[in-house]
Amino acid sequence: MFDEDKRYKIVICDDDETFIDLLSEKIEQDFVQRKIVCLIEKYSDSRKLLDNIGAETQLYFLDIDMPEINGMEIADKILTKNPHSEIIFISNHEEMVFESFRYTPLRFIRKEKMNQELQEAISAFLDKKEKESRILEITTREGKCCIAVDDIIFLESRQHYLKICCENENFELRGRISDYETMLEKYGFVRVNIGFIINCKYIKILKTKKIILCNGMEINIGSNRHDKVRHAYMEYVREKNKWKL
């Protein structure tokens, strides 16, 4: 029985049509084994792909060595239109992995080692999607609502109330910040001082005594929390980039 709630659209772009068919077959086999639906579109012409970039595509497999417009240029245009898409680069040139980092790809697959690396790359994609789908149910003055845990930037304690700041909306509810500390820790959150819990995903700069978030907000680190904050952030970075090590 396939999980109809999990349905992913995938695009493959490579000028080698034989390789496209092979990769498509292996991706489909992997998803079938996991009982997950995937819809695959194949392009051997990068210009045609660029004419059909859509927000509904969650994952792109891009050959770096494309004629006319290479895979990195394609990735740049895709991410400009849809920054939430995931990119997996594929190439015969292993040395290009370092240059690819600027596009923050989910993975880099070497064609000669595709059989070993493809399954791990798909697992990384599905793990990330599972994390993004985690929901926190809260009760505000307006009633109950659900928040995607991955969208939470920070929680701030305000006397008997909590402010939950998300990417596109803020929420206020009664509660204690300590009630959420342990609950969110396993999702990459860390309490940085008596009044704030931060999602490590949104840390732009970690300094000795303060954190700068991606939205520019600066938050001081409690004097007895420096080691814990640094450890939590390094664990987050290590998990995010473990394939690059």
Whole-angstrom Cα distance, residue 53 to residue 44?
A: 14
Residues 126, 139: one domain? no
Range of the domain at 142: 135-244
Same domain, 144 and 179: yes
Q: Sign of the CA dihedral 17, 19, 24, 29?
A: positive
User: In this model, does residue 152 exceed pLDDT 80?
Assistant: yes
Tell me the per-residue pLDDT of 117-151, one tens digit each, with 9 for 90 and over. 999 999 999 988 888 888 899 999 889 999 999 89
Q: Is 230 helix (H, G, I), strand (E, B) or coil?
A: helix
Answer with the one of 84, 104, 132 that is the final residue of a domain: 132
- The CA-atom distances, in angstroms, between 87 and each of 2, 176, 241 are 25, 39, 14
Q: What is the pLDDT of residue 4?
A: 60
Which pTM was predicted?
0.68
The two tokens of residue 127 are: 């793990």
What CATH number has the domain bearing residue 160?
2.40.50.1020
Q: Looking at the structure, do residues 7 and 127 belong to the same domain, yes or no?
A: yes
Asked if 63 and 126 sit in the same domain, the reply is yes
Domain count, the chain: 2
Beta-carbon count within 10 A of 171 CB: 19
Q: Are residues 98 and 217 in the same domain?
A: no
Q: Are residues 225 and 153 in the same domain?
A: yes
Spatial distance between the Cα atoms of 136 and 184, rounded to a whole number of angstroms: 9
CATH number of the domain enclosing 95:
3.40.50.2300
